[in-house]
């Protein structure tokens, strides 16, 4: 039963952490690229290309986290299964 509790916690908390980290990274990358373009307008094309590649890699990590989220979500038991597990355990067995 502890396994399912930890799995539910990981599924519910893992994706938001990945999204927050990715959004922070994307914001910092974009801010740095815009600042670099403002300082050196002649290098704007190269800076923009590097920024887009970096943003694509950051976004691919979020998509990977979403995939893992859906895979783990399928491993969680239904409410009926949880009731069956908890009622099959005798009193005093605890969690």
**What pLDDT was estimated at residue 39?**
95
Residue 53 near residue 60 (C-beta atoms within 8 A): no
- What are the pLDDT digits (tens) for 14-43? 889 989 999 999 999 999 999 999 999 999
Q: What is the pTM of this model?
A: 0.71
Which residue segments constitute the domains of the chain, with CATH numbers given? 11-85 (1.20.20.10)
d(CA 29, CA 47): 11
- What are the pLDDT digits (tens) for 36-95? 999 999 999 999 999 999 999 999 999 999 999 899 888 888 888 888 888 887 665 555
**What pLDDT was estimated at residue 4?**
84
Which tokens go with 63? 């998509």
d(CA 51, CA 49): 5
Taking each helix axis as running N to C, give the angle between helix 44-73 and helix 2-39, from 0 to 180 degrees, rounded to the nearest 10.
170
d(CA 51, CA 34): 9
């Amino acid at each position: 039963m502890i396994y399912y509790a930890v799995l539910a916690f990981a599924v519910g908390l893992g994706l938001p952490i990945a999204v927050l980290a990715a959004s922070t990274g994307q914001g910092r990358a974009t801010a740095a690229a815009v600042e670099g373009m403002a300082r050196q307008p002649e290098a704007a094309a190269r800076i923009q290309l590097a920024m887009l590649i970096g943003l694509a890699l950051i976004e691919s990590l979020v998509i990977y986290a979403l995939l893992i989220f859906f895979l783990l979500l399928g491993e969680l038991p239904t409410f009926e299964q949880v009731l069956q597990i908890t009622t099959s355990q005798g009193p005093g067995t605890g969690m």
